[in-house]
Amino acid sequence: MYRLTNSFPYLLNRVGVQMGELFSRRIAGYGVTLPMYRVMAALWEAGDQRLGDLAAMTTIEISTLSRLVGEMKRRGLVTRARLKDNGRTVAINLTPKGRSLVEELIPIAIRFEEVAVRDFPPKNISDLKTILAEIYESLKSLEPEIEEANKARKAAKSKA
């Protein structure tokens, strides 16, 4: 018998939402939101990102991210500039201010993660991380059947 509360997406989402919520509250005093932190931490790891890449990296929808980066630029946390050699794209980077801020926040993120995983052997956690990364990749294989299902429905509708 299926139970939502034992399903993988449910368990996943619940932890994700909750950790996000707690972390948001923890960093609110620094004047940044969770999505802002994610952007800064992504840039800290790999700077000079284009908007689209940053969107893929952070799983933030691109138009949302465009505006978010705009706000962060206004606040002096990041730079954004069209490239000389390819004016379609834009390069986003941390400012020194953004860098020093994210370097204050990262230890808090590390602390949160430690608390989350402390009851489990490191091996389990690293396995878990590997599984999560691989599942992410394997989700791509669902794309075709989504299209197909929707196409089928559409066809049925236009016939009706």
Partner DNA sequence: GAACAATAATTGCATTTGCAAATATAGGTC
Partner DNA sequence: GACCTATATTTGCAAATGCAATTATTGTTC
User: Binding residues for DNA, per CB under 7 A?
Assistant: 33, 35, 50-53, 60-64, 66-70, 80, 82, 85-90
Q: Which of 91, 93, 70, 69 is nearest to 82 (CA)?
A: 91
Length reported for the chain: 160
Residue 74 C-beta: closest distance to DNA, Å: 11
CA distance 86 to 70: 20
User: Tokens 């940053």 correspond to what residue?
Assistant: 54
Which one of residues 62, 83, 115, 155 is an interface residue with its own copies (CB under 8 A)?
Answer: 115
User: Of these partners, its own copies, DNA, none, which one is at the site of residue 86 (CB under 5 to 8 Å by kind)?
Assistant: DNA
User: Of these partners, DNA, its own copies, none, which one is at the site of residue 67 (CB under 5 to 8 Å by kind)?
Assistant: DNA
Q: Please count the other Cβ atoms lying within 10 Å of the Cβ belonging to residue 22.
A: 14
Q: Between 85 and 137, whose beta carbon lies closer to DNA?
A: 85
Q: Does 155 bind its own copies (CB under 8 A)?
A: no
- Contact between residue 43 and residue 93 where contact means Cβ atoms under 8 Å apart: yes
Q: Between 75 and 99, whose beta carbon lies closer to DNA?
A: 75
Residue 105 C-beta: closest distance to DNA, Å: 17
Task: Provide the sign of the torsion angle of the four alpha carbons 117, 118, 119, 123, taken in this order.
Answer: positive
